[in-house]
């Protein structure tokens, strides 16, 4: 009997699958089409969040990258709810507005108009600070998806 050697990304999938094999709340699936995706289906949003925090979003094997997606199979939250939960108690986020119409559905994250200022080795500032709107920081830092728009509150 001849053994066939698996690629490193398939072995990586098998390792993840084996790690969670005894857990009835987790199912690991391997998909290979245009890209390699290891999908981890998890029962419950809290558990899914914990598993997501432990697994990398991607793993490189030379010139091949496997993407790991943790998907809660129930208790899925809308992007608006995720934003509300993530910024709960943080005055940077003023409100989250969901809107749908002829152009589609969008979530608007409305940030405080207070400017953000932080040290950034900026030679254009006498103290090396960078100043911007919180909305602009959110655009650069967060990866919420294409159906969300970042805004600044109106101040009169």
Mean pLDDT of 143-152: 81
Structure-model confidence comparison of residues 117 and 76, the more confident one? 117
* 132-150 b/e (C-beta count within 10 Å ≥ 16 → b): ebbbebbbeeeebeeebeb
Q: Residue 88: its pLDDT value, please?
A: 80
| Domain chopping of the chain, boundaries | 8-72, 79-152
Q: For 85-115, how does the pLDDT look when each residue is reduced to its tens digit (9 = 90+)?
A: 778 888 999 999 998 777 778 899 999 998 8
Q: Residue 89: its pLDDT value, please?
A: 81
Instruction: Among 14-18, 75-79, 107-111, name the one with the lowest average pLDDT.
Output: 75-79
Mean pLDDT of 37-61: 89
Q: For 27-44, how does the pLDDT look when each residue is reduced to its tens digit (9 = 90+)?
A: 999 999 899 999 999 887
* 65-81 b/e (C-beta count within 10 Å ≥ 16 → b): ebebebebeeeeeebbe
Q: Residue 86: its pLDDT value, please?
A: 79
The full 3-state SS of the chain, as one line of letters, equals CCCCCCCHHHHHHHHHHHHHCCCCCEEEEEEECCCEEEEEEECCHHHHHHHHHHCCCEEEECCEEEEEEEEECCCCCCHHHHHHHHCCCCCCEEEEEEEEECCEEEEEEEECCCEEEEECCCCCCCCCEEEEEHHHHHHHHCCCCCCEEEEECCCC
């Amino acid at each position: 009997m001849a053994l066939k050697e698996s690629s490193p990304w398939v072995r990586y999938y098998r390792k993840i699958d084996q790690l969670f094999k005894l857990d009835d709340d987790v199912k690991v699936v391997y998909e290979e089409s245009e890209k390699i995706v290891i999908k981890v289906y998890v029962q419950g949003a809290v558990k899914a969040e914990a598993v997501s925090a432990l697994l990398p979003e991607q793993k490189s094997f030379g010139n091949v990258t496997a993407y790991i997606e943790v998907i809660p199979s129930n208790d899925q939250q809308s992007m608006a709810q995720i934003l509300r939960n993530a910024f709960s108690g943080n005055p940077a986020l003023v409100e989250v507005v969901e809107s749908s119409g002829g152009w589609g559905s969008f979530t608007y994250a409305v940030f405080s108009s207070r400017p953000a200022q932080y040290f950034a080795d900026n030679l254009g500032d006498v103290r090396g600070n960078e100043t911007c709107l919180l909305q602009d920081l959110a655009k650069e830092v967060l990866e919420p998806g294409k159906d969300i728009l970042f805004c600044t509150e109106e101040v009169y």
